[in-house]
């Protein structure tokens, strides 16, 4: 299976996927840590893909999304964004709205706590 096929398969078979440096339990960069931290804190069940384990996936995800940086978050097969976009969406409540629209379970109280802590 090519990197592109592997990526497409992963994003279509899992509701929430984070392509990141490291894993959700052990991120290997600050940006990946921030996004994984938000998802973990909000109780979102997500699949993590460590791009450091496979160079073809690391480059392949950039080509697949036409987005130059990692991490990259996908919800229901659609690219949502990287660290800055996910941070902004979390603080504005847009991420909550996306999860609700797509039927992704998350902890609403935790999302509010993130916003309160960053107000």
* Residues placed in the known binding site: 29
The strand pairing partners of 22, in sequence order, are: 27
For the annotated binding site for [2Fe-2S] cluster, the residues are: 29
């Amino acid at each position: 299976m090519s990197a592109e096929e592997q990526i497409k398969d992963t994003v279509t078979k899992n509701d929430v996927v984070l392509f990141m440096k490291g894993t959700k339990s052990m991120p290997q960069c600050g940006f990946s840590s921030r996004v994984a931290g938000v998802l973990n804190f909000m109780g979102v069940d997500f699949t993590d893909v460590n791009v450091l384990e496979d160079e073809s996936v690391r480059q392949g995800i950039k080509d697949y999304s036409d987005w130059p940086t990692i991490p990259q978050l996908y919800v229901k097969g659609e690219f949502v964004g990287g660290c800055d976009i996910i941070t902004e969406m979390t603080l504005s409540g847009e991420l909550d709205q996306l999860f609700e629209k797509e039927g992704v379970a998350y902890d609403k109280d935790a999302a509010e706590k993130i916003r309160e802590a960053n107000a």
